[in-house]
Amino acid sequence: MTPKLTEALVINDEEESLFNEIRQNPMAFTILYRHYLPRIYRYLFFKTGNPDDAEELTSQVFLAALEAIPRYDHRGQFSTWLFSIARRKVADFYRTQYVQYPSDLSKTSSTSDPEDDPLTLVIAQDDQRELNELLSTLKDDEQELLRLRLAARLQFSEIAVLLKRSPSSVKMAYYRLLARLASKMEAQVGIKRSA
């Protein structure tokens, strides 16, 4: 019997029986694949800045997970195990590519409306450029924290496992980082307006 999961359902409730079924029938892995695909892809896209690379790495992550399922010991959260595979795959990717990590954490796949007022577009592009510059000044671990929380949409407890920290310290670091970014953005806007 295949556990029925909806997108809103937290997989942890039925993971153990699902893993047992996957070990017997690898096709049942599609349930986990469909549930985690958007989050893994978003995380890898924000790490690479390239949709093709993100798609390739996403495939590698799920293939590695499927191959490792027989050895997976369900003691923690599947999401943290899966994201630890994703982090290793992207590190391997950059190690073999000799490419720098993109610092543009604010990339989105959406484009601006062609009917937007030209002045509005110029202001938006200027704000985007300032945000990109500000994000590029962050340390790698701060950028990773933002990617895991905003792109991958992991909970603080999941991030804590990945970063080997306590959930409270991760949460505090995240909110302090957001406050610092907001303060710097406000200062930059204030300087621009007074000029």
Domain architecture of the chain: domains with CATH: 11-97 (1.10.1740.10), 118-194 (1.10.10.10)
**Which is higher by pLDDT, 76 or 181?**
181
- As a whole number, mean pLDDT of residues 40-63 equals 93
Residues 6+ apart with CB under 8 A from 171: 156
| Cα–Cα distance measured from residue 177 to residue 184, given in angstroms and rounded to the nearest whole number | 11
Q: What is the pLDDT of residue 126?
A: 67
Per the prediction, the chain carries an average pLDDT of 78
- As a whole number, mean pLDDT of residues 89-117 equals 61
- As a whole number, mean pLDDT of residues 153-166 equals 92
The structure tokens 């929380």 sit at 149
| Cα–Cα distance measured from residue 12 to residue 118, given in angstroms and rounded to the nearest whole number | 48
pLDDT over 90 for what percent of the chain? 33
Token pair in block for residue 32: 């986990």
Q: What angle do CA 188, 191, 195 make, to 5 degrees?
A: 140
| Cα–Cα distance measured from residue 109 to residue 183, given in angstroms and rounded to the nearest whole number | 26
Q: What is the pLDDT of residue 132?
A: 74
Residues 6+ apart with CB under 8 A from 62: 33, 37, 40
Q: What is the pLDDT of residue 49?
A: 86
